[in-house]
């Protein structure tokens, strides 16, 4: 089922020095406006650190009706009781992850700038496909830079929801919303916003609503 309008999909910073402090920031951000999902993405981090982060951050999200997605690791997502997993191109493929996770857990797939990869992921059972990076980002090294119209073409031809990712801020997001993104995946655009994470979420919601 397609979302009625674009929604916000938050991604944690790749490193969190103080989980207690970040949990407070997360709570304030989620209270500032509707957020569909939180992806916990810690790199590099060992299994214990990932599970500890999920254990502390997931209840903050769940108490506000926000789905919790774990990056890369279907095994830990299942162990921690997450709502789903996001798979990069170097991770387990979607069909294999679906066999491991069963029909209920959400699976998202990175597809860079390729509608072909996205169609393969959708046919294999992905619940959403992610295109990007649309803008330069300091969160990770990126080599793919799709044009926003990849979202428009996807909307016109496919039913699986699409996520726009990569360097998205309040200042550059409008063209992605107008192009047809179902979700805006945002990390530093929220956590490093000069007004703070709550102000960023509120600003994104104003942009999405207009």
Residue numbers of the chain with a pLDDT score lower than 50 = 1-3
In this predicted structure, what is the pLDDT of residue 157? 95
Give me the pLDDT at residue 1, please.
31
Q: What's the predicted TM-score (pTM) here?
A: 0.94
Instruction: Tell me the domains of the chain and their CATH numbers.
Output: 7-209 (3.20.20.70)
- Nearest residue to 111 (alpha-carbon basis) of 84, 127, 129, 124: 129
What are the backbone dihedrals phi and psi of residue 165, each rounded to the nearest 5 degrees, phi first? -140, 155
- The confidence score (pLDDT) of residue 90 equals 87
Closest CA to 165 of 45, 41, 76: 41
pLDDT score, position 36:
98
pLDDT of residue 3: 45
34 in Cβ contact with 56 (< 8 Å): no
């Amino acid at each position: 089922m397609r979302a009625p309008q674009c929604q916000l999909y938050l991604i944690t910073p790749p490193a969190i020095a103080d989980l207690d402090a970040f949990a407070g920031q997360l709570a304030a951000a989620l209270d500032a406006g509707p957020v569909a999902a939180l992806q916990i993405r810690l790199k590099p981090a060992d299994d214990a650190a990932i599970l500890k982060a999920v254990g502390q951050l997931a209840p903050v999200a769940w108490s506000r009706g926000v789905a919790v997605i774990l990056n890369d690791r279907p095994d830990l997502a299942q162990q921690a009781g997450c709502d789903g997993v996001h798979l990069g191109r170097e991770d387990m493929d979607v069909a294999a992850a679906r066999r491991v996770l069963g029909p209920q857990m959400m699976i998202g797939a990175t597809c860079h700038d390729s509608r072909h990869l996205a169609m393969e992921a959708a046919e294999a059972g992905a619940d959403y496909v992610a295109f990007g990076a649309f803008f330069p980002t300091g969160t990770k090294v990126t080599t793919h830079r799709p044009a926003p119209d990849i979202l428009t073409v996807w909307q016109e031809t496919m039913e699986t929801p699409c996520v726009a990712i990569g360097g998205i801020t309040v200042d550059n997001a409008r063209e992605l919303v107008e192009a047809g993104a179902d979700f805006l995946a945002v990390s530093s655009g929220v956590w490093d916003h000069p007004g703070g994470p709550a102000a960023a979420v509120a600003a994104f919601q104003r942009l999405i609503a207009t």
